[in-house]
Amino acid sequence: MNAAVIAAGGSGERFGGAAGKQLALVAGLPVLAHTVRAFEACPDVDIIVVVTHPDRVDEYRRAAVEAIGAVKVAAVVAGGATRVQSVRAGLAALPEGIDLVAIHDGARAAVTPQTISAAFAALAGTTDVDGVVVGHPSVDTIKEVDPSGRVIETPDRTRFWMAQTPQVFRPSSLTRAYWKAGIAGFEGTDDAALVEAVGGTVVMVEGPRSNLKVTVPEDLDMLEALLAARAEG
């Protein structure tokens, strides 16, 4: 049995607005509803847990789960003050017997069921890997700079990938990583960073560059255009 934890508990400070990015309407539905719908439609996902802002659990459930009739969502739970705390709350809500678990950003609403399935398949086909991260090789030149903005180095971009979600893990590996992160007070910028920090093996799986995340209001226009193009195609 495979599970997905959709992390939608952030405050969305960079986005602004009273409703935040998760409930911003795109193509007639909240951003988060598009995300949930993609996981609902994925045949490799059996159960979904949505983690929301602690003050808006019922609001998010109505707008993003009940509104689309999602039947795979087993729980909508309150998140914490940080991403680590929120994902931990989502993991705690999962039942026993999960084979693989995907962690996904609620605001990455352009994800497709095909991308989700590819991530699960990539990890399921291994025996010595703890997790896989969907992403793509960097196509831009990377500059390392100091605090003043002065360029220190231009590293070889072929060594760098842009990480996205979903990120899929073996539950035992992810639980161990979260447990150790809690002891150390380590807050990674993504879940893979926590697994890497305890010596776990993580590999990248190439996904579409269109798997964008809504971060600022301008991203809504790109998401709307992308969803419209898919509907026409």
14-30: average pLDDT? 76
Asked if residue 233 is part of any domain, the answer here is no
Let me know: does 191 contact 180? Beta carbons within 8 Å. Answer: no
Which tokens hold the place of 115?
């991308």
Confidence check: pLDDT of 11 > 60:
no
Q: Could you give the maximum distance between any two Cα atoms of the chain, in Å?
A: 52
Query: What CA–CA distance (Å, rounded) separates 71 from 117?
Result: 18
Asked if residue 197 is part of any domain, the answer here is yes
pTM for the full predicted model: 0.93
Asked if residue 232 is part of any domain, the answer here is no
Count how many domains the chain has: 1
The residue among 184 and 180 whose pLDDT is bigger is: 180
* CB proximity list for 42: less than 8 A, separation 6 or greater: 113, 116, 117
* CB proximity list for 83: less than 8 A, separation 6 or greater: 7, 9, 10, 187
Q: Is 180 helix (H, G, I), strand (E, B) or coil?
A: helix
Which run of H or of E encompasses 85? helix 83-92
Give residue 189's pLDDT band: very low, low, confident or very high (50, 70, 90). Answer: confident
161-168: average pLDDT? 97
Query: Rounded mean pLDDT of the chain?
Result: 92
The residue among 103 and 19 whose pLDDT is bigger is: 103
Confidence check: pLDDT of 80 > 70:
yes
Beta strand 144-145 with 131-137 is unpaired
Confidence check: pLDDT of 231 > 90:
no
Asked if residue 221 is part of any domain, the answer here is yes
Q: How far is C-alpha 156 from the geometric centre of its chain's CA atoms? A: 27
Domain that includes residue 64, residue range:
2-227
Confidence check: pLDDT of 233 > 90:
no
Phi, psi for 129 (deg, rounded to 5): -120, 140
Asked if residue 119 is part of any domain, the answer here is yes
The enclosing domain of 126 has a CATH number of 3.90.550.10
Q: 143 to each of 136, 139, 153, how far by Cα in Å?
A: 18, 13, 6
Q: 196 to each of 6, 46, 143, 186, how far by Cα in Å?
A: 21, 27, 24, 12
**Cis peptide preceding 166, ω within 30 of 0:** yes
